[in-house]
Structure 1
């Protein structure tokens, strides 16, 4: 079982779209009150997970599902491992840059910097779009160069003027943590390099998956108490984030192995058994380190992998096996222009904050509030689709 075909199946894009809609939705829950606790993030020391804790790992898993398709697509264009490696580094570095700028916005000292967090986020996101927008072929090359140069200049100025922290602890642009995008970037780079070097051979990838899961287990067991080791594995979620990515790749390879043989029922059976096994192992390990997204415990990695596989099977059954992909067209931009949809809420919150406009309490409370956050997520996706049609498409 090796290289997956260079094609896209609608269920992967749909799963990515559903995950992005959920991410926007759960990221908006802070604006609500009196909502069920199971929807929100659990504390680092709490043994458990809410819906919000299952979204990020699902995204990592989907990143892994897309990796073999992307690599095989580049191979079909004649790229060798050297070119593919550079492309992986470029994409990963872009995510690291975006993650760091957004994280520094979280810790921004507005008075010392001279701009508030909302302005920072808007300028940073505009710069991201200027640098990584996929322009139409008809676009003037000089305009593209000017926009990209200005965008890079904006990021350099922001990094120079940035001051974070409070009181005597004010510091310059810093790595507080890598941010959601940065963590995805690290896991993507390591996972994609593994897939590339392995020739997308499932057996080798499975061994690497076990290796990174083993690192995660060893770290939580206190067997890796070394500053250098912790510095290396920290950005990788102590190995857990990479295991999620590689789990997604294995899922794609198994899917296409049976898909090529037109054995959909067997494919679903094998992946369902895999999901049950992952879930069971996660339950078995729970008494040792609990379930925690923030701590990236082994149980969290395994259980979230299982959940994502089951959701993928359901989406595939509806969209691909029964030809109902059109049911999901209203969220399609979240699956094809995903990064832009992730950035748009930063503009929305900045505009709302600057205008001083706020919703009445009854719209922000309980079930009505949840409907508001869902409507907000769908509105963001709609705006992403409109901007995409106007030529704003982020592609790393």
Structure 2
């Protein structure tokens, strides 16, 4: 969720903050996320594209997108930390940065989650209006304002965003009329879950200081924790730890990205693409074997965040990253993906765009004809919608709206 650069280099040095392949695989993942999140509007589409229901052993395309994004969060982490070190950040400053980003993600996640269960009549706002006001507030608070913009104006805009969120939290009522509830974490939401995984992985990565062995031990610990959790063997005294951390799986996904990034940095420093490829292919194969071995015990499921899901989706993301790396960085075809660049460089803003799109079409009374919401035509519609969100993100970035946590 970094700011965009002016162009995509053919091959980024490993010492820079941005790595082309990471941006591109993040962009493709975000496009897939918007695409699968829009499938609710369609009918007559293949079941394998959608989420598998809770309790069912199996995954669909939609079930591999979120773990891929978590993995990529970890994949970019060592590069982002190195970049901040070069600017002079101390270890304590790095940890504070991790903490502040986590708070931002948790706040956004909780506000959007409350919108899912909002009682529009009791709150005085329908769900789409709630989501729109929340997203506008997020932008006002966390926008990367131009340095030449008046500081009082910047602080004023941030204050408007904060006051708006506080007001929304105060007036919020959720549930039905018989059993209403006030504002609170119903669950953490996608952004909140990313926040908890980012917090744990960020602290470990900062303290590990690029030591691969330390991060591998941490990843192994969380993979084991995932299995222990699903086996029901967690001690009661640990229950105070937030479940997204205590469950092990989500942090395991993010730490897997950190491990991959450190391996990538090692082999790229030697310009050994062949060695990098063999090692990552070997790791992917081992992860697939682990998925097969653990599936009979706890199943393969996103909604259960099972160990098999952790291992298999980690393998898929490594393979996707490796393929994009060869295509974009080694073979120099990064320009093929230039049109989706905003989804990889201003990812958080891109994630918020659909909330505005749904509210706008509802407000304007725009309804697509039925034939555009069925089967293959409907899938094309959802894909084009995802691409449109990317173009809108790019346009907003050009006029100075860029979210930076």
* TM-score, normalised with respect to structure 2: 0.95
Separation of aligned partners in 1, 2:179 and 2:188: 20
TM-superposition CA deviations, 1:57-104 (whole Å, max 9, x none): 000000001111111111111111111111100001000000000001
Structure 2 contact 291–307 (Cα < 8 Å) conserved: yes
1:121 aligns with 2:131: yes
Mean CA deviation greater in 352-361 or 205-214: 352-361
Secondary structure at 2:217 match in 1: helix
TM-superposition CA deviations, 1:27-50 (whole Å, max 9, x none): 000000000000000011000000
Select the residue among 248, 258, 269 that pairs with 2:267. 258
Separation of aligned partners in 2, 1:237 and 1:324: 41
Q: Hey, what does 1:138 align to over in structure 2? A: 148
Structure 1 contact 14–315 (Cα < 8 Å) conserved: yes
Q: Hey, what does 2:256 align to over in structure 1? A: 247
Separation of aligned partners in 1, 2:331 and 2:94: 35
1:48 aligns with 2:58: yes
Q: Hey, what does 1:210 align to over in structure 2? A: 220
Matches within 5 A, 1:313-352: 313-352=322-361
Separation of aligned partners in 1, 2:345 and 2:354: 17
Separation of aligned partners in 1, 2:370 and 2:94: 51
Secondary structure at 1:34 match in 2: coil
Mean CA deviation greater in 237-246 or 270-279: 237-246
Secondary structure at 1:102 match in 2: helix
Separation of aligned partners in 2, 1:205 and 1:15: 22
Q: Hey, what does 1:219 align to over in structure 2? A: 229
Name structure 2 gaps, 5 residues minimum: 1-13
Structure 2 contact 52–58 (Cα < 8 Å) conserved: yes
Separation of aligned partners in 1, 2:239 and 2:113: 21
Separation of aligned partners in 2, 1:173 and 1:153: 15
1:213 deviates by 0.9
Name structure 1 gaps, 5 residues minimum: none
Secondary structure at 1:262 match in 2: coil
Mean CA deviation greater in 117-126 or 134-143: 134-143
Q: Hey, what does 1:232 align to over in structure 2? A: 241
Matches within 5 A, 1:271-310: 271-310=280-319
Secondary structure at 2:173 match in 1: coil
Separation of aligned partners in 2, 1:87 and 1:7: 16
Q: Hey, what does 2:386 align to over in structure 1? A: 377
Secondary structure at 1:346 match in 2: helix
1:80 aligns with 2:83: no
Secondary structure at 1:169 match in 2: coil
Separation of aligned partners in 1, 2:347 and 2:140: 16
Select the residue among 208, 211, 214 that pairs with 1:201. 211
Separation of aligned partners in 2, 1:177 and 1:87: 24
1:175 deviates by 1.0
Q: Hey, what does 1:69 align to over in structure 2? A: 79
Separation of aligned partners in 2, 1:25 and 1:225: 40
TM-superposition CA deviations, 1:289-336 (whole Å, max 9, x none): 111111100000000000000000000010000000000011000001
Flag the 1:171–1:233 CA change in 2: closer, same or farther, 3 A: closer
Select the residue among 362, 370, 391 that pairs with 1:353. 362
Separation of aligned partners in 2, 1:356 and 1:291: 41
* TM-score, normalised with respect to structure 1: 0.97
Separation of aligned partners in 1, 2:394 and 2:17: 22
Separation of aligned partners in 2, 1:341 and 1:184: 16
TM-superposition CA deviations, 1:316-374 (whole Å, max 9, x none): 01000000000001100000110000001001101112222211111000000000000
1:229 deviates by 2.6
Mean CA deviation greater in 311-320 or 234-243: 234-243
Q: Hey, what does 1:368 align to over in structure 2? A: 377
Secondary structure at 1:332 match in 2: helix
Separation of aligned partners in 2, 1:66 and 1:237: 23
Q: Hey, what does 1:92 align to over in structure 2? A: 102
Secondary structure at 2:317 match in 1: helix
Structure 1 contact 38–51 (Cα < 8 Å) conserved: yes
Separation of aligned partners in 2, 1:46 and 1:206: 31
Separation of aligned partners in 2, 1:231 and 1:55: 29
CA RMSD of superposed structures (Å): 1.1
Separation of aligned partners in 2, 1:349 and 1:29: 13
1:142 deviates by 1.9
TM-superposition CA deviations, 1:145-197 (whole Å, max 9, x none): 11111111100100100111113321110111000000000000100100111
